Amino acid sequence: MITKIITEFKKHFSADGVHRSRLIQLKSLRKRYPNSPILKFAIHIMRKKMWLFPGADFINNALFSLMEINDAGLLTINGITFNLKDPVAKKIFLLEYAEIFSTDDNFRIHHSSNLLLDEIMAIMLAEEGPYQYDAVSLNKGDVVIDAGSNMGMFALFAAKYNQCKVYAFEPYPTVISLLQENITNNNLDDKIKVVPLGLSDTICDVKFKIFSQDIWGASFVLNRKSKHAKWEEITIQCVSLDKWVKENQITKIDFIKADIEGAERLLLQGATEVLKTMQPKISICTYHLPDDPEVLEKIILDANPNYTIIQEKKKLFAYVKSV
């Protein structure tokens, strides 16, 4: 037992440890922000608290103390309002925000009202990286498929900042109401359409595993089991993107963003015609199944060999070069 404790202790204090690395990154910001109380605060809580007692709740509460949530539970940040009345929504907000906004130069540099705070959040919380990378970025007026929209953060930013038309696929009923409220609160009903379906390789009903205490991680592919969490099953409807596009007479898709807990390969298998004819840019997660990077790349290139593939740590980006 003592050996295990010492090993864990060393890991957090080693030069290669996650917390050590993040502390170094925070300290590097002092050159640009030498007298910032926010930065001093972040360095303090990283050094004194998170190293010894890693915990999202403490970090979340510390960062929320730097923001203003009104009495109705609404937070407006960078011109977009989010409903955080639900404790579960508040729990995941900062993680979603760090991945989708704080790490994304396209959003952050042009639209952030507090660049330092966003850099701090990216360092402290981000694990997966942004959905835009290099040539795989949103253009004004793009038609976007947001697969696994959740509370709608990517959809809201795309519609607000790039005037994109977004189809937000989200099959989890509890999350759909939160997603729709966020859309309406931002007057984006004309830009974002909620599609209450999952995306797969065919039209089907599937068992969807959900965790009632969280709105992340629901899946109809991954085997969700835990001694400490009670996963429940509901039935949801799925559709293939090819069939949905045909039935809804969609003539253009420019960008596909997907984080759907292991069903990414099914989405692509059901979108071969879209990839072949519409050639959308693709930003898709590759960490849910061990062979995701290889399998997803093969499906894309089999459907359309003109794609250029970029493999990053936890995402695959793909695009067809314009002639």
- Contact at 8 Å (CB) between 147 and 256? yes
pLDDT tens digit string along 248-269? 999 999 999 999 878 899 999 9
Mean pLDDT for 96-116 is 93
Mean pLDDT of 111-122: 92
- Sign (positive/negative) of CA torsion 183, 184, 185, 188? positive
Whole-prediction pTM: 0.88
Contacts (Cβ under 8 Å, ≥6 apart) of 105: 130, 132
| Residue 22 CB neighbour total at 10 angstroms | 19
Instruction: Summarize pLDDT for 31-62 with one digit per residue, the tens.
Output: 999 999 889 888 887 776 554 444 456 667 77
Average pLDDT over residues 67-96: 88
Write the DSSP assignment of 264-283 as a string of letters.
HHHHHHTTHHHHHHT--EEE
CA–CA gap between residue 256 and residue 281 (Å, rounded): 6
**Residue 134 above 50 pLDDT?**
yes
Q: What percent of the chain has pLDDT over 90?
A: 59
Most confident of 43-47, 89-93, 202-206, 313-317: 313-317
Higher pLDDT: 72 or 13? It is 72
CA dist 213 and 319 (Å) reads 37
| 288-312 residue pLDDT tens | 889 999 999 999 999 999 999 999 9
Q: What is the mean pLDDT of residues 82-105?
A: 89
Strand locations in 109-203 (E): 143-147, 165-169, 192-195, 198-200
| pLDDT computed for residue 52 by the predictor | 47
All domains in the chain, ordered by first residue: 2-125 (no CATH), 143-320 (3.40.50.150)
For residue 13, the model assigns a pLDDT of 45
**In the prediction, which pLDDT does 51 show?**
45
Location of structure tokens 């994109």: 164
Tell me the average pLDDT across 221-244: 75
Phi and psi torsions of 215, nearest 5°: -115, 20
Mean pLDDT check: name the lowest of 109-118, 198-207, 294-303: 198-207
Task: Please state, in angstroms and as integers, the Cα–Cα distance from residue 237 to each residue in 191, 201, 205, 207, following that order.
Answer: 24, 12, 5, 9
pLDDT grade for 4, boundaries at 50, 70 and 90: low
Confidence class for position 227, pLDDT limits 50, 70, 90: low
* Predicted local confidence at residue 66, as pLDDT: 78
Which residues, including other chains, have CB under 8 Å from residue 143's CB and lie 6 or more apart? 164, 165, 167, 250, 252, 253, 254, 255
CB 79 within 8 A of CB 111: yes
- Between 236 and 283, name the one with better pLDDT: 283
Q: What's the order of all strands across the beta sheet hosting 255-258? A: 192-195, 165-169, 143-147, 255-258, 281-285, 315-320, 307-311
